[in-house]
Amino acid sequence: MLKLNEILDEKDKRLKCVSKEVKFPLTEKDINIINNSIEYLTNSQLEENLENEKFRPGMGLAAIQLGIPKRYFVIVEELPTGEHDPQKFKNYIVVNPKVVSHSEEMIYAELGEGCLSVNREVPGIVPRHARITIEGFNELGEPIKIRAREELSIAFQHEIDHLNGILFFERIDKTDPFNGENTMRSI
């Protein structure tokens, strides 16, 4: 399984690289990284692991965060469940993503964005589109199209930023970190 110390820290210059398009079929190493990322992200969101030092809660992980400059990422979304339902997750594996459309409405995460590569709180508003549509491929090379909104939209934009060498805090207005608080909707 993937370990927290394998995730690059924000000081690592490799995080500033623009990742390269992936050719299919994916390598066995890439498939293992995808599977290990899903396992880590799922475990990091389970309540019983919140106090475990092996995990920091995360929803997404781009290959570049593991030092691999390839255009793919994984998002594990926790789905709402009933009182007696087991926790359920939906996994997104996106290779060579392209944003094909987005809303004009901008939103931000009220509690701020976090990142497994940034081990500190960064106050401020990260403006994101409320809805986006992404096209790309799954791990088998089959075309996919995903429409995401709200929190999931933020997660997709965050991971695509990683593929382009951008860390979330670089989108915060340096002179006014809470700029947009009154013009954007928080979620």
CB 158 within 8 A of CB 81: no
Cβ–Cβ < 8 Å for 107, 150:
yes
Catalytic residues: 159
Three-state SS at 97: strand
Two tokens, residue 30: 């890439």
Structure tokens at 57: 């809660």
**H or E segment to which residue 73 belongs:** strand 72-79
**CA 74 to CA 94: how far, in whole Å?**
6
92 vs 146: CA distance, rounded Å: 9
Pairing of strands 106-108, 185-186: parallel
CA-CA distance, 171 to 162, in Å (whole number)?
A: 12
